[in-house]
Structure 1
Amino acid sequence: MKLKTLLVSALLTAVVAGCGGTGAASTGGGGGGARTVTVYTADGLADWYKTRFDAFTAKTGIKVQTVEAGSGEVVSRLAKEKSNPQADVVVTLPPFIQKASKDGLLQKNVVPGSEHVTSVKGDDYVAVANNYLCFIANQQAGTPKSFDELLDTKFKGKLQYSTPGQAGDGTAVLLLLQHLLGKQGALDYLHKLEANNVGPSASTGKLQPKVSKGELLVANGDVQMNLSSISVDKSAFSVFFPAAADGKKTTIALPYVMGLATGAPNGDGGKQLMEYLLTPEAQQTVSSDAYGIPARDDVKPTDANFAKVQAAMNGVTPWTPDWTAVLADLDADVAAYTKAVQG
């Protein structure tokens, strides 16, 4: 996913781009005053934010300032600022939202409409848009059919995936392989794949232009971000899901999840924004604006973008992990992963 800072005013006149990716957060202040809500967010939903924040400002008079970073980095930034909170709302991926909750970085807040969310939610967070892990391939590579095919020497120096433990999508790669192969099997596979891997990448979003230009042939990504890039940026790659040894295609459900930050400078404004983003009005536009899937199960979009998402997911089985269990094992799993790829 891309890394950048968006300063979104009532007219959304300022967009300040940072260093794309799921690494260090972009620079950008928080605490913009009583009429400003500051959102720390995992990158990828900028197109949806633009239209929704514009509408929210028009409705309430409250401006929205957004700092985009990687899934893990937005939570890390919250932790660093715990004694002097700057964010009002945080949007990130599992298991990082669960980490924020466990570390006391979120406050309890039941968002109206959350009873219609069936994916990820707790008493201090709720999914705002559904999404899925996928992979992308440059047109020169065709469409790799399986995980085993990615071990082929034709991908040596032409394959890269974002780093587990830092990037939400990269963490999902490790989790999916654990689900398919078992924990040791996943480590064995990733050890073999390292022969083709360009190296660590804290950014999933930065991999998109590399694949589009042919610098890479294959990378990981997510359905929402990648389909949006194909449409908006005219990226020259396709979305695919490698099959396991049994020929079946499985992916991991990876929703964007929002929570109200502990000590939020503008908690009331943050609550209003979260409530608005979960309204049927806003949810109806997740796909049409940004190729996401509504988090509410009572919102049924019929736009062309939603149809493209459904087509991309055809024949693929989504899997949802036990995110609490994932978080409990995450540090040990990432340490084992690091040792496996460096060995």
Structure 2
Amino acid sequence: MVQRAVRERGNPQADVLVTLPPFIQQAAGKGLLQTYAPAGADQVAGADKAPDGTWTSVVNNYFGFVYNKKELKQPPKTWDELLGSRYKNKIQYSTPGVAGDGTAVLVKAMHDFGGKEQALAYLKKLQANNVGPSASTGKLAPKVDKGELLVANGDVQMNHAQTKTMPHLGIWFPAGTDGRPTTFALPYAAGLVTKAPHSANGRKLLDFMLAREQQEEVSAIGGGFPARRDVKAATDANATALARLMDGIEVFEPDWNDIDKNLSAYVEDWKSATGS
């Protein structure tokens, strides 16, 4: 999405850009977004919006993994379990630097293993079981549900929606070195495109997405989490299931400024380590 917006810079076609970190920061850094704080943005946590007002999270979400519940009686607990022979040619994750959820694999591994070098050393070993990179995260869950894969990466909102039509799909979170499962917020963030052809309507759309009524319906309609702090937890079926899924999961906050600044180098190091 960011690459397309760069190509269209001279003649913008989009009014609003919606993408995940660190790509929303990348868009802002390239001057693709203009300053606009939607109504209700003051109720969005500081870490979930740009200090300069170029983007704001509109739906919260979390990084996760999926597994095949039919083939595996219970999900793996740790990263190291994925190195076992049971997972030979049965693991796939989307490409860091290309897919938001693929970049998230690298972010979480760096956190859980205590640094970039440790994470890359692990991902190099994981290549023995890895099918290979995928440009699209969305294509992985159907493969897991069919049993072509046993484990793949994803995100909670997307995968929870997919479980309704994919009965063998389960969601899980690998544990760090201390044995505690972890994840981090991977929100859908939106910003008004610089020189947007319909700026007024773009502002209205951003206001609409952050309005209290829409935020209260995020779980029921979108299967995600509200971005506003002043919206109380919903009680619909999706909200209940999502709360149960996140219970006991430690949520950490990545240094997105560092990731945005060093993403290209991190991705190149990942390519070197994995031979991708």
TM-score range relative to shorter protein? over 0.9
- The 5 A counterparts of 1:155-304 are 155-181=87-113, 182-231=115-164, 233-300=165-232, 301-304=234-237
- What's 1:102 paired with? 29
> Deviations along 1:194-241, whole A, 9 cap, x unmatched?
11110010110000110010011100011111111112x234210011
> Deviations along 1:15-55, whole A, 9 cap, x unmatched?
xxxxxxxxxxxxxxxxxxxxxxxxxxxxxxxxxxxxxxxxx
Q: Contact 2:62 / 2:156 at 8 angstroms: preserved in 1?
A: yes
Verify: 1:84 aligned to 2:11, yes or no: yes
Counterpart selection for 2:262 from 329, 333, 343: 329
Identical residues among aligned pairs (%): 50
Q: What secondary structure is seen at the aligned counterpart in 2 of 1:141?
A: coil
Q: Distance in 1 between matches of 2:153 and 2:220?
A: 23
Post-superposition offset of 1:141: 2.3
Verify: 1:146 aligned to 2:78, yes or no: yes
TM-score (norm 1): 0.77
- What's 2:39 paired with? 112
Post-superposition offset of 1:245: 2.7
Q: Distance in 2 between matches of 1:272 and 1:113?
A: 12
CA RMSD of aligned residues (A): 1.0
Q: Distance in 1 between matches of 2:146 and 2:125?
A: 26
Q: Distance in 2 between matches of 1:213 and 1:309?
A: 23
| Residue identity matched to 1:88 | D
Q: Distance in 1 between matches of 2:87 and 2:142?
A: 17
Q: Contact 1:209 / 1:235 at 8 angstroms: preserved in 2?
A: no
Q: Distance in 2 between matches of 1:152 and 1:234?
A: 26
Q: Distance in 2 between matches of 1:319 and 1:167?
A: 20
Q: Distance in 2 between matches of 1:324 and 1:221?
A: 23
Q: Distance in 1 between matches of 2:225 and 2:159?
A: 14
Post-superposition offset of 1:321: 1.1
Q: Which runs of 5+ in 2 are unaligned?
A: none
Q: Which runs of 5+ in 1 are unaligned?
A: 1-73
Post-superposition offset of 1:147: 0.5
Q: Contact 1:287 / 1:303 at 8 angstroms: preserved in 2?
A: yes
- What's 2:244 paired with? 311
Range that drifts further, 251-260 or 241-250: 241-250
TM-score (norm 2): 0.95
Q: What secondary structure is seen at the aligned counterpart in 1 of 2:123?
A: helix
